Structure 1
Amino acid sequence: MGAVPGHILAALDRANRGVVVLAVDGLSLRVATDVWTSAHVAALTSTFPSTSATAWMTAVTGATVPEHLVVGAVYRSPAADAIVNVITGDPLRAGPSDALRALPTVFQAAAARARALVVGRELETLGGPWVTALLRGAERGPKPDPRALDAEADDPAELAEAVARDVEDALAAHRGDEPLLLWVYVNLDLHLHRHGYDDRAVDAVRSLGRHARAWAARGWTVLAHSDHGHVRCEPDPALHDAWARVDTPELCALPGGGAGRVRWLYPREGRRAEAAERLRDGLGGHAMVVDAEDLPGLGLMDLTPDVRERVGGVVAIATSPRFPLPVPGLAYEHGALTEDEMMVPLATWG
């Protein structure tokens, strides 16, 4: 994932008119390879956790987790000693957060050679520190109509066509002599959480590929990549109860954090081993429960002092569809280490 900025900048150097980047949230390598047969599709490896907050930040900065500090979606802010949702900003929406480190983005790197424009769509509805850092240095497109976004989330075909209209509008409005880097967010993720890669989702991906091929025929270089894939989930109330019995104020100093199929606890001083053992017993074979200090040895995350301040001391990584999710009721989720979660596409047309 960290190689994405280099791919974008290299494409921009070679491009005739400019580069269009479709940032497709939630698309697995397997589906993209099957559908985008007119493109060159390379394989990328997502971040750990394989979740949007972490992966998109790496994709626009090229930085690792210890560098940008987005260890997941929900984690401890050291200054506030509180749990923050880094995407929404809650509960720190009103002020700055130390939850992450804002680093130079691909948009800033492109500034010397192109106009960098972002059509953020759903991203423009967010108020947290994450989106500000993610789109740093880019010209921001028009604010979306939230009602239209809601309707498109339930209709992947309309989503694909709305994205295409946004691209066409941006290309038509670009009259400058300088090349254009146009980055467009495609929120297929909401549909995938509910329905997975059903026929409607696959048809939408196919439609995006047809539009990409047409833009390439008009002289634009088109890239499309994702942040993570999805896997099927199976609700298990007993496992949710097992998590809740450990994630308590008596045992943990803060509520648990993480993202999807990777979650962690913040045990009180001297109770880390107890929390890990109780969670391991409760989740059985449905999770790999490890002490956070074991993450580097597993090749998953370097524990710099800044990372240690944010990630919980006991980490559970899903090994089964029955893993207890922080947002119950989702049919598909991501965050863990399976191939469909971790392997994502980088497609090129033109």
Structure 2
Amino acid sequence: MPGTDTLLNALQWDRDVDPLVWQPHPTAFERLARAGVDVAVVNKRDFAASGLTRAAHRGGRYVGADTTAERVGATLEATMAAGGVVPSLTYLYEGDLDKTGHLHGVASSEWLQALAQVDEEAEQLREALPPATRLLVIADHGMVDSTGEGRLDLDEVPEAAALRDGLVLLGGEARFRQLWCRDGALDDVVATWRSVLGERAEVLTREDAAARGWFGEVAPSIGPRMGDVVVACRDDLVLLSSRDFAVETRLVGFHGSLTADEMLVPVLVG
């Protein structure tokens, strides 16, 4: 967070950070609601008042649902509530598939079983929804498994020790690290990371990444939230830290970089 030496975890949030101040722009749901669309968000009960929900999903009525049966029922009820009098949009988030992919990888039998569950859920919805209602199924990202030589722990592998030089903070995700540098250390940090990682990652300054359009239009107030340097991994490389992000060292599936496997996802319309 600008002006501090701490990171904001968007999933867990920080109680001192107001989501409406951190993300003040109208969400897609808010814009739709203002246009007269009846909007509902179906997600787990625990997420109802979370910082991420308030930042990204505000604008529709929130419906808590934890099990498959609850999610299907809540989505149908929310869709029917408008009664066809006004346009409606019901957004249903299914997070179990992503969690399973992180824990076991997308090549695992566990992930395939979770995918089959999502497929069954979508089939139940399509069969129960009115013919005039469209069902769109899409993912927010893909995933890459990393189980072997692609795993580089900055705190365990000797060749990676130099990557700590000149850093104040290590942030981002294992597939897309963001680096905050000490004053005057930027050029040395970029040179070291490029030397150590070579073709396994794209290492750019914040300004160069923004100029390439990696973040879309960047408002002046948003730039300082980003690392001074960003590192986009290629192939199955993941940049782990057993010291700072121990949980990530236990994962198999990752996402966050710019590869086709992570960025290109299909949309199914039924």
The one of 207, 221, 230 aligned to 1:306:
221
SS at match of 2:74: helix
SS at match of 2:7: strand
Q: Is the 8 A contact 1:113 1:179 kept in 2?
A: yes
The one of 62, 66, 72 aligned to 1:140:
62
SS at match of 1:246: helix
Compute the RMSD of aligned alpha carbons: 3.0
SS at match of 2:203: strand
- Aligned match of 1:202: 115
User: Alpha carbons of 1:276 and 1:139: their partners in 2 closer, same or farther (altered >3 Å)?
Assistant: same
Deviation beyond 6 Å, 4+ runs, structure 1: 172-176
Separation of aligned partners in 1, 2:228 and 2:25: 26
Q: Is the 8 A contact 1:222 1:348 kept in 2?
A: yes
User: Alpha carbons of 1:97 and 1:336: their partners in 2 closer, same or farther (altered >3 Å)?
Assistant: same
Aligned positions of 1:148-163 closer than 5 A: 149=66, 160-163=68-71
Aligned positions of 1:64-75 closer than 5 A: none
- Aligned match of 1:275: 189
- Aligned match of 1:73: none
User: Alpha carbons of 1:141 and 1:304: their partners in 2 closer, same or farther (altered >3 Å)?
Assistant: closer
Separation of aligned partners in 2, 1:136 and 1:348: 25
Aligned positions of 1:121-132 closer than 5 A: 121=44, 124=47, 127-128=50-51, 130-132=52-54
User: Alpha carbons of 1:291 and 1:316: their partners in 2 closer, same or farther (altered >3 Å)?
Assistant: same
SS at match of 1:344: coil
Q: Is the 8 A contact 1:232 1:332 kept in 2?
A: yes
The one of 89, 102, 105 aligned to 1:193:
102
User: Alpha carbons of 1:333 and 1:162: their partners in 2 closer, same or farther (altered >3 Å)?
Assistant: farther
User: Alpha carbons of 1:140 and 1:341: their partners in 2 closer, same or farther (altered >3 Å)?
Assistant: same
The amino acid of 1:341's aligned partner reads E
Aligned residues: 253
Q: Is the 8 A contact 2:48 2:62 kept in 1?
A: no
C-alpha displacement at 1:261, in angstroms? 0.7
- Aligned match of 1:45: none
Separation of aligned partners in 1, 2:16 and 2:210: 35
User: Alpha carbons of 1:303 and 1:175: their partners in 2 closer, same or farther (altered >3 Å)?
Assistant: closer
User: Alpha carbons of 1:281 and 1:162: their partners in 2 closer, same or farther (altered >3 Å)?
Assistant: farther
- Aligned match of 1:101: 23
Higher mean displacement: 199-208 or 314-323: 199-208
Identity of aligned residues (%): 26
C-alpha displacement at 1:178, in angstroms? 4.0
- Aligned match of 1:52: none
Separation of aligned partners in 2, 1:186 and 1:334: 17
Q: Is the 8 A contact 2:76 2:128 kept in 1?
A: no
Aligned positions of 1:26-37 closer than 5 A: none
The amino acid of 1:246's aligned partner reads L
C-alpha displacement at 1:331, in angstroms? 1.1
Separation of aligned partners in 2, 1:330 and 1:96: 30
Separation of aligned partners in 1, 2:174 and 2:21: 19
Scaled by the length of structure 2, what TM-score is found? 0.79
User: Alpha carbons of 1:264 and 1:110: their partners in 2 closer, same or farther (altered >3 Å)?
Assistant: closer
The gaps in structure 1 that reach 5 residues or longer are 1-76, 150-158
Scaled by the length of structure 1, what TM-score is found? 0.62
Separation of aligned partners in 2, 1:181 and 1:316: 37
Q: Is the 8 A contact 2:19 2:55 kept in 1?
A: no
